[in-house]
Structure 1
């Protein structure tokens, strides 16, 4: 297997060398601009082979809806935020994805987090927690979504405070009435009684603050606002198993036939790159030629106007 893999990489490096050695005329060497509908351009230029679009595969399944009932109006909807380099898509109670806006070969398209549970602080729903996204070194990507009041629903900002841990700011009219984000009113009567009981025990100092938080977590878990430890462990286990299966699937070069097939695929991709470079250079050349002709026309018009002015002036004298 190692021999086949070595042969494959030698062929791949050779193809890259050939592609880079084919230089264009100096007048056509320009920076490549983004071309709309690249897939169709390539399809039309080498054998009408369909270009596969990136498919994102989640490590785990999103949790069921939970939280303030009026947030159900966001269920099934998605919101975008486009920056210079990326497009972020937030689908409440589903996932957060990131798509690189670039002409790079195989730009990054991935999942930053899958909906799992709420962050609850001081009896309030404070953030949505999206976890177990794509692998990032030894960890999985995750996102925290916080909410601010606004007159419309929109994803306002995305940042990365820590490596592979993202922070999203979502604006919505759903949080403009602070009382609608309190947890207690959405509990069943049984769970409200349980909460009242541990509140009394804490006031009477019958339990510690740590013990109170532990019992409160049990109540919120029973309500479905937090995940159980068993569920979290199961999700992590499934994610790890899926990663192992993916690693096995990526072991492509264990036979000469597979190596040859991959070589043929790379040849087709290389032809696509050559076509893209050629089309872009041609387009730029025609654009510069048009600008040159327009400039020459203006120069000729100015020369003619100047000549006519001198003739009229001479005739007047």
Structure 2
């Protein structure tokens, strides 16, 4: 992977999402294995036969202005038959572990994933410094 690409990515206000770069997280359903590789791409592979389908490559942080890092957008996936290119919206939630908990297709060729991560937890900005008494 190119260092130039890594430097250009926005890993959060304090770099809290950087640990996900180069990692992938899977969710198995009855029919498919979904794979989210943050800042790279999202794929879907049938459990039996068939080839992997690209559900989108990293686009941008797509959360609202006041919470930009709450949602990721992956675009320009494999084209649907007589339809648009597949895309995936990944909603981030605060959780103890980094895990994909659900995947759905709310509208044709547009996927939605729920992704829990400690990086999405609101961390207090003012961490009190321990006071040391001088001897």
TM-score, structure 2 normalization: 0.78
Query: 1:129 matched to which residue of 2?
Result: 73
Counterpart Cα distance in 2 of 1:167 and 1:179: 29
Query: 1:175 matched to which residue of 2?
Result: 120
Q: In angstroms, what is the RMSD of aligned CA positions? A: 1.9
Query: 1:118 matched to which residue of 2?
Result: 61
Q: CA 1:121/1:129 → structure 2, altered by over 3 Å: closer, same or farther? A: same
Unpaired segments of 5 or more residues in structure 2? 1-7, 126-135
After superposition, where does 1:210-221 map in structure 2 within 5 Å?
none
Contact 2:55–2:111, Cα closer than 8 Å, also in 1: yes
Counterpart Cα distance in 2 of 1:85 and 1:173: 29
1:122 CA drift (Å):
3.6
After superposition, where does 1:198-277 map in structure 2 within 5 Å?
none
- Runs of 4+ aligned residues of structure 1 deviating over 3 Å after TM superposition are none
Query: 1:165 matched to which residue of 2?
Result: 110
Which structure has the highest strand share of the two? 2
Q: Which has the larger radius of gyration?
A: 1
After superposition, where does 1:1-317 map in structure 2 within 5 Å?
64-68=8-12, 69-103=15-49, 107-125=50-68, 126-136=70-80, 137-177=82-122
Q: CA 1:144/1:179 → structure 2, altered by over 3 Å: closer, same or farther? A: farther
Contact 1:153–1:170, Cα closer than 8 Å, also in 2: yes
Contact 1:67–1:118, Cα closer than 8 Å, also in 2: no
Q: CA 1:152/1:99 → structure 2, altered by over 3 Å: closer, same or farther? A: same
TM-score, structure 1 normalization: 0.35
